[in-house]
Amino acid sequence: MERDYPIGRAKQGLPAIIHEVERTGRATITRRGRPVAVVLSIAELERIESFRRKALEWSAATLDTRKFKFDREEANAR
């Protein structure tokens, strides 16, 4: 479960926050109740990057259209 930490508490308790992040994956640092930063574990970062790599691989995929036949008249028939 992700927890929120005010900046002041984060400065004083960074080692404890790091230990928690290793267990839970992430923690949010807030200023006046608004999120301003996220601390991620290496495992969580790698998980996020693997999704990103898969998305990039998918977006870079190309379709082989050499044997595809398209009949414009048939497609536009009503």
As a whole number of angstroms, the distance between CA 35 and CA 20 comes to 18
User: 3-class DSSP state for residue 74?
Assistant: helix
Residue 69 is assigned to a structural domain of this protein? no
Residue 71 is assigned to a structural domain of this protein? no
Q: What is the DSSP string of 21-67?
A: HHHHSEEEEEETTEEEEEEE-HHHHHHHHHHHHHHHHHHH-----TT
Residue 25 is assigned to a structural domain of this protein? yes
Residue 50 is assigned to a structural domain of this protein? yes
Give the model's confidence band at 58: pLDDT under 50 very low, under 70 low, under 90 confident, else very high: low
Instruction: Report percent pLDDT > 90 for the chain.
Output: 55
Residue 66 is assigned to a structural domain of this protein? no
Query: Is 5:13 a contact under the CB 8 Å cutoff?
Result: yes
Host domain of residue 29? 3-61
Query: Is 39:58 a contact under the CB 8 Å cutoff?
Result: no
The pLDDT of residue 63: 64
Assess whether pLDDT exceeds 70 at residue 59: no
**CATH number of the domain encompassing residue 49:** 3.40.1620.10
Residue 56 is assigned to a structural domain of this protein? yes
Assess whether pLDDT exceeds 80 at residue 9: yes
29-55 pLDDT tens trace:
999 999 999 999 999 999 888 887 776
Residue 72 is assigned to a structural domain of this protein? no
